A and B are shown apart, each in its own frame.
With several copies, the nearest count.
Chain A
Amino acid sequence: MIDKTVASAEAAVADIHDGASVMIGGFGTAGMPDELIDALIALEVGNLTIINNNAGNGETGVAALIREGRVRKIICSFPRQADSHHFDARYRAGEIELELVPQGNLAARIQAAGAGLGAIFTPTGFGTQLAEGKETRTIDGVDHVLEYPIRADFALIKAHEGDRWGNLVYRKTARNFGPIMAMAARTTIAQVARVVPLGNLDPEVVVTPGIFVQRVVPIGSHSIGSTAA
């Protein structure tokens, strides 16, 4: 019997290694897998490359990971925010590398990785600083930039419900990067409010099929609706 559920966040992240690339779901704090990140911080591995839309908000989640000095490089679209002070400080001190990617290219590159494409020509960013040095091509009269897939060793995401086969459904805008990151990482670890019996998730409404998920951790729903800064 296949059972992808793991009892604790600590056990779920135990094999994340020094220097690993880790996608982390969430747009701001919505969909941020705080408990998995806390377990990762407790693991005391460093030199991580983090892929997330932001670079941390306030004191929890990605911000805490940065505060603790575990992040060597971050790939994101929107690091600078009112409450990104931990990133700001480390960035200004030259202690963290930033690869800034337009949000849609970030999504498309993650999707390219999940779908096994070698590269994509995207119109976004053409002619801007963020495309400097990149290959370009005019296709059907539209200028494009060649962008490569973003893969990761691990993805940490937050879903609403999951089952022992790894099928997931999400909640409102906490869905954001979860489904596409799940497809782009070698090992995807999903924290869920609750694990439901196999068959409880309607086959028509599963958003992330279990094939993209390796571990499911029930966390409880205490953080839903209360993760605001």
Chain B
Amino acid sequence: MKRLNREDMAWRVARDIPEGAYVNLGIGLPTKVANYLPKDREIFLQSENGLLGMGPAPAPGDEDWELINAGKQAVTLLTGGCFFHHGDSFAMMRGGHIDLCVLGAFQVAINGDIANWHTGEPDAIPAVGGAMDLAIGAKKTFVMMELLTRDGTSKLVERCTYPLTGLACVSRVYTDLAVFELEGNRARIIERAEGVSHDDLRAMTGLALC
């Protein structure tokens, strides 16, 4: 069984982003997708803190800390990009102008519910950021995550047990072991990693995958 590593996963997601798409990449793992966007496609990255046409990280020493992404890393602006305020930024999101949002997650349920903002532990300090807006605002929401937690529990679930971020909003889940399409309260396997069978995935997730 050959798991995709995190770079492979980012590459895999990037391959599915069409030219001309307006895309928001969530903080953490999804940020890596930017590194693998096909060079022959013009894709517009939006960052919730007010830029469209986000470019790659600057060379070390060239950082401008007033030009950052949602993860507060220094970035650059592509030719043709622009700046705007937070109101307009979230209008882009909530108003359905973003074609695709890629998020990390603690759990995704087969009905498309996503939990990615809070572990629910009583002593945890909650922080939501733009996660709830991103989850429900884009035309399509993709999740990228390892399929299993470190102790082997599936993060693709029948029903989320962690506090929800958004309801019935995820349409596809990219993992290290398979890619799942969520439709009509079912998860359909649309791609498997090398040496991973349908039965393996059913066993790992405990779900009636089709």
Which residues on A are within 8 Å of B, measured CB to CB? 1-2, 27-31, 53, 77-81, 84, 87-88, 91-92, 98, 100-108, 110-111, 113-117, 122-130, 143, 163-165, 167, 170-180, 183, 198-199, 201, 203-204, 206-207, 209-212, 224-228
Expressed in whole angstroms, the Cα–Cα distance for A90 and B63 within the complex equals: 32
Whole-angstrom distance from the CB of B66 to the nearest CB of chain A? 4
Would you call B182 an interface residue if the criterion is a C-beta within 8 Å of the partner chain's C-beta atoms? no
Whole-angstrom distance from the CB of A105 to the nearest CB of chain B? 7
Q: Given A124-B137, A176-B50, A180-B85, decide whether A203 and B163 contact each other with a Cβ distance below 8 A.
A: no
Which residues on B are within 8 Å of A, measured CB to CB? 19-20, 22, 42, 44, 46-53, 63-68, 72, 74, 77, 79-98, 118, 123-133, 136-137, 163-167
Please, which residues of chain A bring their CB within 8 A of the CB of B90?
103-104, 107-108, 115
Expressed in whole angstroms, the Cα–Cα distance for A103 and B63 within the complex equals: 25
Whole-angstrom distance from the CB of A47 to the nearest CB of chain B? 22
Expressed in whole angstroms, the Cα–Cα distance for A177 and B124 within the complex equals: 27
Q: Is A225 in contact with B95, judged by CB distance below 8 angstroms?
A: no
Whole-angstrom distance from the CB of B50 to the nearest CB of chain A? 5
> Could you show 19 A-B contacts with beta carbons less than 8 Å apart?
A1-B42, A77-B130, A87-B125, A102-B129, A103-B130, A110-B87, A114-B95, A123-B94, A123-B137, A128-B132, A163-B80, A172-B83, A174-B66, A179-B87, A209-B52, A209-B92, A210-B82, A211-B98, A226-B65
Whole-angstrom distance from the CB of A40 to the nearest CB of chain B? 22
Expressed in whole angstroms, the Cα–Cα distance for A211 and B85 within the complex equals: 14
Q: Is A177 in contact with B133, judged by CB distance below 8 angstroms?
A: no
Expressed in whole angstroms, the Cα–Cα distance for A210 and B47 within the complex equals: 14
Point out the residue from B66, B127, B163 that lies within 8 Å of A171, measured CB to CB: B66
Q: Is B86 in contact with A176, judged by CB distance below 8 angstroms?
A: yes
Point out the residue from A29, A113, A201 that lies within 8 Å of B95, measured CB to CB: A113
Please, which residues of chain B bring their CB within 8 A of the CB of A2?
19-20, 42
Please, which residues of chain B bring their CB within 8 A of the CB of A204?
82-83
Point out the residue from A80, A81, A122, A203 that lies within 8 Å of B77, measured CB to CB: A203
Q: Is B46 in contact with A116, judged by CB distance below 8 angstroms?
A: no
Whole-angstrom distance from the CB of B47 to the nearest CB of chain A? 7
Whole-angstrom distance from the CB of A176 to the nearest CB of chain B? 5
Expressed in whole angstroms, the Cα–Cα distance for A105 and B67 within the complex equals: 23
Using A30-B66, A173-B50 as known contacts, list a sample of 15 further A-B pairs with CB atoms less than 8 Å apart, ordered by residue number in A: A31-B66, A78-B128, A102-B128, A103-B48, A107-B86, A108-B94, A115-B87, A116-B137, A124-B133, A124-B137, A130-B128, A165-B44, A173-B47, A175-B84, A206-B84
Q: Is A100 in contact with B132, judged by CB distance below 8 angstroms?
A: no
Point out the residue from A77, A173, A176 that lies within 8 Å of B127, measured CB to CB: A77
